[in-house]
Amino acid sequence: MARQCDICGKGAKMGNSVAIRGKKKYLGGVGTKITGITRRKFKPNLQRLHIATPNGTHKTINACTQCIRSGGVTKIVRNAPFKVAQPAATKS
């Protein structure tokens, strides 16, 4: 199975790694030259998450960071956050 996001299906994409040599003209050089182009793979930033499914069960998935940030997944709440005691209202 390919490493991809279980929510949006984002996977690895192919691209080029460009090697550049030389000093830029605006810095006083004669300009930059491309000395090599090789293929490379751009991988998504996948995180392994424990999520709560809509029917109440828990599941482990691989999700990309964009899906986590946009609220596409609901994480398991392990401990409920503490509650601050409200001061009693005084009658005057």
**Could you tell me the CATH number of the domain that includes residue 63?**
2.30.170
79 occurs within a structural domain: no
63 occurs within a structural domain: yes
Expressed as residue numbers, the domain containing 47 is: 13-69
Question: Cβ distance 63 to 49 under 8 Å?
Answer: yes
32 occurs within a structural domain: yes
24 occurs within a structural domain: yes
Write the CA distances from 9 to 14, 30, 59, 71, 73, integer angstroms.
16, 45, 17, 16, 14
Q: What are the average pLDDT values for consecutive 10-residue runs of the chain, which has 92 residues?
A: 87 96 95 96 94 87 93 81 78 66
Number of domains in the chain: 1
47 occurs within a structural domain: yes
C-alpha to C-alpha distance for 44 and 59, rounded to whole angstroms? 21
What pTM does this model have? 0.64
35 occurs within a structural domain: yes
Q: Residue 50 carries which side chain, given as an amino acid letter?
A: H
For residue 34, the SS3 value is: strand
